[in-house]
Amino acid sequence: MTDNFIQLGKSDVLRLEIKTNDGKTTGNYLEFNLEDIELPLKYQELLDKNKKNQENLRNQLLIIEKRQDVKGKKLMSKNEEDKIKAIRDYVNKEIEVYNMFLGENGVQKLLNGEKPTWFIFEKIDKIIKEQIMPHLESKMIDIDEKIKNKYKQVDKDEIEVVE
């Protein structure tokens, strides 16, 4: 009796190893299924929610800036405390949004144990733009070509009879 098995085809999962600045591996990876129909939509949602979060933060800071400042509970004034809370909430919302695209704990993997900073999202945006999007864009072009070839119109004269 022969072994029965199913041979799977080549995977379209892009697995990117994360390394430190000095080239040491962190043991973490980001993975993207490049044929996932939802992936471009997740990226667009990231961009939309990112913009909305930035506008929300800007509005909150403007409101805080315009109101009368009073002494806070500790060292800072009430407005300073509220600004820090607004920024902290913004960072937490952004981490959620980026993880939606990068995968579970994607931001934390890129932080490699460090705390999030104000500029972390600029760094992550650069990583996405330079190291992830070229793969996604290339695969989208490939998928688009496959769809066009599969459903292209063929003249009656060009139909070949396969025997």
Q: For every one of its 163 residues, what pLDDT tens digit does the chain have, with 9 covering 90 and above?
A: 567 877 767 778 889 999 988 989 999 999 999 888 888 899 999 999 999 999 999 999 999 999 998 887 788 899 999 999 999 999 999 999 999 999 999 999 999 988 998 789 999 999 999 999 998 888 888 878 878 888 876 665 555 555 5
Q: Are 25 and 17 in contact, with CB atoms under 8 Å apart?
A: yes
Cα 84 from chain centroid? 25
Q: Are 87 and 117 in contact, with CB atoms under 8 Å apart?
A: no
pTM to 2 decimal places = 0.79
Closest CA to 143 of 15, 9, 33: 33
Q: Give me the pLDDT at residue 97, please.
A: 96
Helix (H, G, I), strand (E, B) or coil at 102: helix
Reported as type and span, the H/E element at residue 76 is none
* Size of the chain, expressed as the number of residues it contains: 163
Closest CA to 12 of 148, 135, 146: 135
Q: Give me the pLDDT at residue 37, please.
A: 83
Q: Are 30 and 106 in contact, with CB atoms under 8 Å apart?
A: yes
Please state, in angstroms and rounded to a whole number, the distance separating the CA atoms of residues 163 and 160: 9
